[in-house]
DNA sequence: TTGTATGCGTTATCAT
DNA sequence: ATGATAACGCATACAA
């Protein structure tokens, strides 16, 4: 069982005080080059590693970003591919700045006193900042967190706080573009399957759909709007209903790729082929989008970019950067593949 | 700017010493009920949260599990859906035991002295244990980590260390079952697209394929084995080659669902339809498997179970549980859906 | 340029 | 049952 090598050990072995070792290691100017040299060599020989706990205790900086990430009801943790890609972007970006990610898993921080609380968990670990992914913005605990002193960034959620920023895609514009694309192809009977309507992306994409329908002079039909939950199964059912309409749509804008895939599936089950009999456009451009059959026409979200933007925001706020926009919106891009065609 | 409320503050306000507060909060027996009561109430009023850093400094336990997670070359971080589901299982399991997950992102732990090193990063944060997902088992730094004093669990990797366990699916049996399923359907010309052959699941699934081919008395053909990398694109190319053979296979066992999807795609591009003209079976049973077109016949890995098993192993090891199996293998299950049929 | 001393917020070991 | 006091490993203000 190897003993942990501490800064004290280093001091002892190199014949100087711990203060000097600390300064040498941290690159302070006021230390004789040869002393520093000696210490550095010793440190690397002994494979010295500073204890983050001790350091953060004194510096009040943990270099850790907390991540609260959940997904919709009934869909256990970490299921939607979208979130993972965002997480990947976040990880890369903050990693470059020397931060690690603490993925909160425990609900009993610090051994169990007190109720479940985001703020508490964040404080317990002294995270320098928090990323919020897939939470319920109406949760009072979430609100308490963003009202607190810890810099936060919310992804795809409408949230306000003195120290929090929001990052999301331009969902409304993207949805509108989907409809315009379909219209340009010659479609006039265009339906939509929405995401969860209590989420910001859900309502924004629906709004974009409505705006475009109106702007293009198409008649808005209530029966062409079905409510889904971002996952495949909901869209499959919705599509069934849509296709059973007396005047079924010739095209569907699904507010998520997973739902677009569910729609394609429902079409196939109804003996219809995409895009010959029905056009489908998704949203997200998940990793699989180009590989499914047919490849999905979709609105690409810059998922890595979203994560990176979130990381940027956090890092800047942590560094004390004062004026920052409260909301940053990233553009989405129409990617035309094989699931859409003229009616 | 609210001041952080510390245990000292609690002591001052409640008129006792910090020692007593600590004992009261931590449920020690030797504290007068009314004193405890008073302290507890005050703590909850002030929303006191203990500082994990301070605590772990003295207890030498951080209640944090470190996670090293990368994926294959050329595929940026966190891309393969399989890993996320495993991560989800791990998160749930250890969360219940009061652990949080530290997702290592930074390559310069503690401000930059010393080279990249898994062991160093783990020690820096004093994690109680480490989960290794999607790393290169031949990396000398990985080896150093598992040779160290920190309990480790490796998922889908062959790794040995005094304090490390390995968790994986029964890949060999699963692959063999895939081939048998195809054979049972009447297929005789059965090809395979492998995963990365330097990974344990990659070789095990290939071995399972070979065993079954032999066991069933089929001729083993070199040209029926193509090498992929677990991702869709590689399988698409492989399938193209396979279909161009003078005597093309009537069925393909792809060592991952993502690859199965790539294979289906290639078939479609060649004007072939699955399963009518070509049967395809995948491996993993990713979330999308039932929803793609056609729904995938595949070998289901218990991904949540894998993560949970890893969490179990870690928690037990951390608790000091001495004798534990070095390797635990989880069964896989054939799920027959729409991508396979008689030739 | 270097050493000393103090404190960060806890837990733990003594006394009392 | 409670209070001092000493760690834990490190950074830093101040002395020297």
Distance CA B235, CA B228 (A): 6
Q: Are residues A165 and A218 in the same domain?
A: no
> So what's the pLDDT on residue A279?
98
Closest CB from A4, A92, A126 relative to B53: A126
The residues of the protein lying within 7 Å (CB) of strand C read A 15-20, 23, 29-32, 35-36, 54, 57-58; B 4, 6-8, 18-19, 22, 25-26, 48-51, 54-55, 57-59
Q: Are residues B165 and B312 in the same domain?
A: yes
Residue A99 near chain B (CB below 8 Å): yes
Q: Residues B118-134: what's their mean pLDDT? A: 96
**Phi then psi dihedrals of residue A201, to 5 deg:** -60, -35
Query: Is there a contact between A300 and A260 (Cβ–Cβ < 8 Å)?
Result: no
Query: Is there a contact between B276 and B340 (Cβ–Cβ < 8 Å)?
Result: no
Q: Judge whether A315 lies within some domain.
A: yes
End-to-end CA, chain B:
72
Q: Judge whether B2 lies within some domain.
A: no
Average pLDDT, chain B: 93
Residue B233 near chain A (CB below 8 Å): yes
Q: Are residues B326 and B276 in the same domain?
A: no
Q: Are residues B197 and B151 in the same domain?
A: no
Q: Which residue is nearest to nucleotide D5 (CA to C1')?
A: B19
Q: Residues B3-13: what's their mean pLDDT? A: 93
Question: A67: which 2 tokens?
Answer: 């991540």
Dump pLDDT digits (tens) for A96-136.
Answer: 999 999 999 986 554 444 446 899 999 999 999 999 998 88
Cβ-defined contact of B53 to A49 (cutoff 8 Å): no
Q: Judge whether B57 lies within some domain.
A: no
299-318 of A, contacting B, C-beta below 8 A = 304
Q: Work out the minimum CA distance from A214 to partner chain B, whole angstroms.
A: 33
Q: Are residues A289 and A210 in the same domain?
A: yes
Q: Work out the minimum CA distance from A309 to partner chain B, whole angstroms.
A: 16
Distance CA B324, CA B269 (A): 50
Average pLDDT, chain A: 93
Q: Assess whether pLDDT exceeds 60 at residue B20.
A: yes
Q: Are residues B197 and B255 in the same domain?
A: yes
Q: Are residues A177 and A247 in the same domain?
A: yes
Cβ-defined contact of A52 to B125 (cutoff 8 Å): yes
> So what's the pLDDT on residue A62?
97
Q: Are residues B187 and B221 in the same domain?
A: yes
Q: Assess whether pLDDT exceeds 50 at residue B113.
A: no
Q: Residues B81-108: what's their mean pLDDT? A: 90
Q: Are residues A225 and A323 in the same domain?
A: no
Q: Are residues B81 and B136 in the same domain?
A: yes
Q: Assess whether pLDDT exceeds 60 at residue A27.
A: yes
Structural domain of residue A41, as residue ranges? 7-50
Dump pLDDT digits (tens) for A210-251.
Answer: 999 999 999 999 999 999 999 999 999 999 999 999 999 999
**Phi then psi dihedrals of residue B220, to 5 deg:** -85, 125
Residue B110 near chain A (CB below 8 Å): yes
Dump pLDDT digits (tens) for B269-291.
Answer: 999 999 999 999 999 999 899 98
The CATH number covering residue A128 comes to: 3.40.50.2300
**Phi then psi dihedrals of residue A264, to 5 deg:** -60, -40
Contacts of residue A57 in chain B, CB cutoff 8 Å? Answer: 51, 53-54, 57
Dump pLDDT digits (tens) for A165-201.
Answer: 999 999 999 999 999 999 999 999 999 999 999 999 9
Q: Work out the minimum CA distance from B247 to partner chain A, whole angstroms.
A: 25
Q: Assess whether pLDDT exceeds 50 at residue B114.
A: no
Residue A37 near chain B (CB below 8 Å): no
The CATH number covering residue A43 comes to: 1.10.260.40
Please state, in angstroms and as integers, the Cα–Cα distance from residue B262 to each residue in A16, A99, A152, B204, B235, following that order. 62, 36, 39, 21, 5
Distance CA B265, CA B271 (A): 10
> So what's the pLDDT on residue B2?
64
Cβ-defined contact of A51 to B124 (cutoff 8 Å): yes
Q: Assess whether pLDDT exceeds 50 at residue B158.
A: yes
Question: How many domains does chain A divide into?
Answer: 3
Q: Are residues B123 and B199 in the same domain?
A: no
Q: Assess whether pLDDT exceeds 80 at residue A43.
A: yes
- State the pTM of this model: 0.93
Q: Are residues B310 and B162 in the same domain?
A: yes
């Amino acid at each position: 069982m190897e003993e942990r090598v501490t800064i004290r050990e280093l001091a002892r072995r190199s014949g100087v005080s711990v203060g000097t070792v600390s300064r040498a290691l941290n690159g302070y100017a006021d230390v004789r080059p040869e002393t520093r040299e000696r210490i550095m060599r010793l440190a690397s020989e002994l494979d010295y590693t500073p204890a983050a706990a001790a350091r953060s205790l004194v510096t009040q900086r943990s270099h850790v970003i907390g991540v609260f990430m959940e997904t919709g009801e009934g869909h256990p943790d970490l299921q939607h591919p979208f979130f993972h890609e965002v997480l990947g972007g976040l990880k890369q970006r903050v990693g470059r700045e020397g931060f690690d990610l603490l993925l909160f898993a425990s609900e009993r921080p610090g051994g169990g006193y007190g109720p479940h609380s985001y703020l508490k968990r964040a404080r317990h670990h002294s995270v320098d900042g928090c990323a919020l992914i897939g939470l319920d913005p109406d949760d009072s605990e979430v609100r308490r967190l963003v009202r607190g002193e810890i810099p936060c960034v919310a992804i795809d959620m409408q949230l306000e706080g003195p120290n929090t920023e929001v990052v999301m895609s331009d969902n409304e514009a993207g949805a509108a573009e989907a409809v315009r694309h379909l219209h340009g192809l010659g479609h006039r009977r265009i339906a939509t399957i929405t995401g969860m309507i209590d989420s910001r992306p859900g309502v924004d994409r629906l709004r974009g759909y409505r705006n475009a329908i109106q702007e293009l002079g198409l008649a808005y039909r209530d029966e062409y709007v079905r409510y889904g939950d971002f996952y495949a199964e909901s869209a499959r059912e919705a599509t069934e209903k849509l296709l059973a309409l007396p005047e079924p749509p010739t095209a569907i804008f699904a507010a998520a790729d997973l739902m677009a895939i569910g729609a394609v599936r429902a079409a196939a089950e109804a003996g219809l082929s995409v895009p010959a009999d029905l056009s489908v456009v998704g949203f997200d451009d998940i990793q699989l989008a180009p590989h499914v059959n047919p490849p999905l026409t979709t609105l690409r979200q810059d998922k890595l970019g979203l994560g990176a933007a979130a990381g940027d925001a956090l890092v800047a706020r942590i560094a004390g950067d004062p004026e920052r926009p409260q909301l940053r919106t990233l553009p989405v891009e129409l990617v035309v593949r094989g699931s859409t065609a003229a009616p």
